[in-house]
Chain A
Amino acid sequence: EDKVVQSPLSLVVHEGDTVTLNCSYEVTNFRSLLWYKQEKKAPTFLFMLTSSGIEKKSGRLSSILDKKELFSILNITATQTGDSAVYLCAVPGTSYGKLTFGQGTILTVHP
């Protein structure tokens, strides 16, 4: 059974801080790892990672994958209150449509 574990489960920081969110996974046949941001209800796509060591960047967010150690990290620099959300990590399984999600990290950024 595929498994995704995220840490920490929650994190409280102040604006301007840098945060690192962790995601470890176990999957029978690795294809990719995805990060989503969930603010109200709808998770929105952030990154898809398929290769080790290649950093994906989007503004203040970046992510990297280590396929040997089976984990990924999501970094957010110079955090803003708008970054407050649940960050979800997921891997697709044997069936293309079946994503296994982690529990999520609740990030709270105070002004």
Chain B
Amino acid sequence: GAGVSQTPSNKVTEKGKYVELRCDPISGHTALYWYRQSLGQGPEFLIYFQGTGAADDSGLPNDRFFAVRPEGSVSTLKIQRTERGDSAVYLCASSPSPPPSGANVLTFGAGSRLTVL
């Protein structure tokens, strides 16, 4: 697609429920990233995919968080047993690939705002 598409744009759920957030990257982008942004803070890294595999998942806060990208395009971030502290905007980004120079220009989606009551 023309840009990074994220659905849903807003999700309200109750504590303890399971949620899935979807990201559709720019067509042809091999690298996909998930970040989480709390109010008044900058985005925090969660996980990065190169193709189908998670190249770095060091930012996932605990085992309630999991992400997949089975065909190397669309990705789903899954959160089990949601807690109030999970409330944030979840941003997805993609890039053509991580260049050898290490400079990463990510194109971000508009995010999914998750509210856990």
Identify the A interface with B (CB < 8 A): 4, 31-32, 34, 36, 40-45, 48, 50, 88, 90, 92, 95-104
Contacts and interface: CB of A to CB of B under 8 A. Distances in A.
B49 to A, nearest CB: 8
Contact of A96 (B4, B41, B102, B108): B102
Given A42-B108, A42-B109, A44-B108, A103 B59 contact: no
B111 interface: yes
A41 B31 contact: no
Given A31-B101, A103-B42, A104-B42, A95 B107 contact: no
B58 A95 contact: yes
Interface residues on B, range: 20 to 34
B42 A41 contact: no
A101 B43 contact: yes
B117 interface: no
